[in-house]
A and B are shown apart, each in its own frame.
Chain A
């Protein structure tokens, strides 16, 4: 069965601190895709990144970086020098090709609060 675990329910940091959001996944497939989405207080879901299981290169986009490690089934997300605008709920999600090709399995989300 597929599963995504985000063990951190809520995190609170002060502006300019670095923060890492953890994501651990379970799947039997060798081909799968991992995603991060951001849900700001306004409620919409914003796509941040997609990573496939064959590409373990870390990725950096501005203050955001992602660390994908197949050995530990983790896909962690780090925000460097956090800002108040980073306050949101962040979801990690998994899509694989075992069974339903459509189903995106979400973690329960991590609520990040960045205080000025």
Chain B
């Protein structure tokens, strides 16, 4: 089954404790992206990757890191999480260009 998977689905952590949210897709898509969803703000892009070893900042990259060492994986790293990073995070992938993005199930992160 073609899908985007994210782990963990739920995470509660404390300020400053490094964490990684994994994202994997099995559709051989070149393009992958991370978004955060906050009430009243919709979805905002954090980082994206056009292909392996190619990443770039989206609209809200501060406090996040990403890497793209393999085509299928695009982990999101929070080196020192803060409470304002409490949010619902979505990973997405697509073919390059105009194609629609396929989203993972979401990761709900709470930073206390």
**Contact residues in B for A106 (Cβ distance below 8 Å):** 35, 42-44
B96 touches A50 (CB 8 A): no
Q: How close is A103's CB to chain B, nearest CB, in angstroms?
A: 5
**Contact residues in B for A100 (Cβ distance below 8 Å):** 48, 56, 58
Chain B, interface SS category: strand
Q: How close is B41's CB to chain A, nearest CB, in angstroms?
A: 6
A33 touches B43 (CB 8 A): no
B103 touches A101 (CB 8 A): no
- Residues of A4-60 at the interface with B, using a CB-CB cut-off of 8 Å, are 33, 35, 37, 43-45, 47, 50, 52
CB < 8 Å A-B pair total: 54
Residue B59 at the chain A interface, CB threshold 8 Å:
yes
Q: How close is A4's CB to chain B, nearest CB, in angstroms?
A: 8
Q: How close is B13's CB to chain A, nearest CB, in angstroms?
A: 20
8 Å CB contact of B50 from A37, A91, A102: A102
CA of A101 to CA of B95 in the docked complex: distance in angstroms? 12
**Contact residues in A for B58 (Cβ distance below 8 Å):** 100, 102-103
**Contact residues in B for A35 (Cβ distance below 8 Å):** 100
Interface size on B, residues (CB 8 A): 28
Q: How large is the interface on A (under 10, 10 to 19, 20 to 34, 35 or more residues)?
A: 20 to 34
Q: Interface centre among A100, A104, A106, by most B CB within 10 Å? A: A104
Q: How close is A88's CB to chain B, nearest CB, in angstroms?
A: 14
B103 touches A45 (CB 8 A): yes
By a beta-carbon cutoff of 8 Å, the part of chain B in contact with chain A is 31, 33, 35, 40-45, 48-50, 56, 58-59, 88, 90, 92, 96-103, 105-106
